[in-house]
Structure 1
Amino acid sequence: MKTVAMVLFPQFLLLDMAGPMEVFSIANRYLPPEQHYELITLGTDHGQLRASNGVSVTADLHIDQADGHYDLLLVPGGPQAYNDNPALLLEWLKGAVTRAGQYGSICTGAFVLGFAGLLDGYRVTTHWHYTERLIKAFPGTHVETDQIFVHDRNLITSGGVTAGIDLALSVVAADHGKKVAQDVAKVLLVVMKRQGGQAQFSPLMASVGPQETPVTRVQNHMLEHLEQAFSIDSMASLASMSPRHFARVFAREVNMTPMEFLQGARIDRARSLLETSELPLKTVAYKSGFGSVRHMRFLFNEKLGLTPAQYREQFS
């Protein structure tokens, strides 16, 4: 029997807890009793803990009482995960992971592990909306921005919310084989392996700054004329700069190259058209500036892991 413990704190995300725990619970239906998962919740507060959606949960044990071995110790996300982590929780985690076979996080729970100093030197991920914040907060960590979950040695982390289900299914598959994990996935009406990664949910284009600068003027011009051809020379001309100087200034202000911004903007425009219209793929490609369906398909596969047709089917 393996023990899975979930650490709960005020304002934790309920689905981050319930999704993975449900996977392990359903897996028990397909396993002999001696191979069942034992599920335990550990709370930072005595009594009830209110989740971010207002639902109250009472943990099985307070962390002061939790000094045993856990095969898997998980931390969910939530507003407190990246805003206010009590020293008591962080100190407890440092000792608890030494008694755990594996430890990990769901969604923004990665920040809790980071503040406890448990991410340095590891490959990790979190919800796409918070990857840049995680990168800046913990420079000693390699953040995978497009993965649904990442397993690195004894640490396993997942992207946002429902990605905790993917994480748990991968653990079940590793423990008991793919067939058991597939059976659990069928009960939950989810797939064992998603098409594409988190990039299909997040915008690829960097936001345009609110203040007018030569760079933001070029960005806005590109967004208004995506169907036109652009080069570094033509962009630099719009900014009244030399190509080399423009490329340096753009990269410094936007944290990506001009061509990366343009490519991301075109993919995002195509995604919007695929989600909200029934335009033929050829028209979508033209209006987004790809020039051909073939080029659009290549970039969709490269950046999103989906073809335009698959994207439309999944998101429209």
Structure 2
Amino acid sequence: MKTVAMVLFPDFLLLDMAGPMEVFSIANRYLPAEQHYVLSTIGTEHGALRASNGVYVQTDLHLDEAVERHDLLLVPGGPGAYNERHPPLLSWLKAAVGRAERYGSICTGAFVLGHAGLLDGYRVTTHWHYTERLIKGFPKATVATDQIYVQDRNLITSGGVTAGIDLALAVVAQDHGKKVAQDVAKVLLVVMKRQGGQAQFSPLMAAVGPHETPITRVQNHVLEHLEESFTIDGMASLANMSARHFARMFVREVNMTPMEFLQSARIDRARNLLESSDLPLKTVAFRSGFGSVRHMRFLFGEKLGLTPVQYRKQFS
């Protein structure tokens, strides 16, 4: 038997806990009794813990009682993961992962592991909305921004919320083979391997800054005329700057090159049109400034891992 423990704290995200635990529970239906997963929850407080959606969960053990080793130790995300530190939990985790065969996090649970110093030197991921914050908070970790889940040695981390199901399915496949994991996925009505990564859920381009500068004026002009052709020289002239100075200032202010901004803006425009309309792909490509469906398809594949048709089917 393999033991799986989920460590809970106030304001955790219930689905981060329930999704993976259901995967292991359903896997038990397909496994002989001696190979079952033994599931438990460990709480930072005595009594029931309140999840971020208001539901209370009674844990099996308090941190002080949880001294056994676990085959897999998981930490969920939620506001309590990225807004609080939970010192007793951090101290407990440092000792507990040394006794665990594997450990990991779902969604923003990576912040809890990070504050415990357990991400240093590892390749990890988290919810796409929080990757930049994780990068800045834990520079000794290598953060993958587009992965559904990442396994690096004995550490496995996942992207946002339902990605915890992907993580758990991967663990089941490693432990008991792909067939068992596929059977579990069918029960849950999910796929074993998703098309594309987290990039398909996140905007490629950040919002234009609220304060007017020569750079933001150019950004807004580009966004209002995406169907037109643009060059560095043309954008620089809009800012009344030389091309070299404009490119340098743009990167400093926007954290991407002018052409990266243009490409990202066009992809985001196309995504919006694919989600909100039934326009033909040729019209979507024209209105987004790609010039051709072929070019749009190439960039979608490069940036999102999906074709425009696949994207529309998944998000419309």
How many residues align structurally?
316
Counterpart of 2:133?
A: 133
- Counterpart of 1:263, as a letter, is Q
State the superposition RMSD in angstroms: 0.6
Look up the match of 1:233: 233
1:198 to partner: Cα distance: 0.5
> Which residue does the alignment assign to 1:207?
207
Partner of 2:267: 267
Aligned partner letter, 2:63: I
TM-score of the superposed pair, with normalisation by structure 1: 0.99
Tell me if structure 2 keeps the 8 A contact 1:206–1:261.
no
Residue 294 of structure 1 aligns with an amino acid whose one-letter code is R
Percentage of pairs with the same residue? 82
User: What secondary structure sits across from 2:121 in the alignment?
Assistant: coil
The DSSP-based 3-state class of the residue aligned with 2:118 is coil
Q: CA deviation at 1:231?
A: 1.1
Distance 1:135 1:257 in 2: 20
TM-score (norm 2): 0.99
Structure 2 Cα separation of the partners of residues 122 and 72 of structure 1? 17
Matches within 5 A, 1:68-79: 68-79=68-79
Partner of 1:122: 122
- Does the residue aligned with 1:57 lie in a helix, a strand or coil? strand
Checking the alignment, whether the CA contact within 8 Å between 1:77 and 1:110 is kept in structure 2 is yes
Tell me the distance in 2 between the aligned counterparts of 1:227 and 1:289.
Answer: 4
Match of 1:5 in 2: 5
User: Residues 1-43 of structure 1: CA distance to partner in whole angstroms, max 9, x if unpaired?
Assistant: 0000000000000000000000000000000011000001000
Task: Give the Cα–Cα distance (whole angstroms) in 1 for the partners of residues 28 and 286 of structure 2.
Answer: 52
Report whether the alignment pairs 1:17 with 2:10: no
Unaligned runs of 5+ in 1: none
| Equivalent residue, structure 2, for 1:36 | 36
Alignment correspondent of 1:281: 281
What are structure 2's unaligned runs of at least 5 residues?
Answer: none
Structure 1 range deviating more: 248-257 or 174-183: 248-257
Q: Give the aligned residue type for 1:199.
A: A
State the distance in 2 between where 1:186 and 1:198 align: 22
Corresponding residue number in structure 1 for 2:67: 67
CA contact (8 A) 1:19 1:164 kept: yes
Q: Secondary structure at the match of 1:314?
A: helix
1: CA distance between counterparts of 2:206 and 2:61?
44
Runs (4+) off by over 3 Å: none
Name the structure 2 match of 1:96. Answer: 96
Question: Post-superposition shift, 1:232?
Answer: 1.0
Q: What is the correspondence of 1:128-277 to structure 2 with a 5 Å cutoff? A: 128-277=128-277
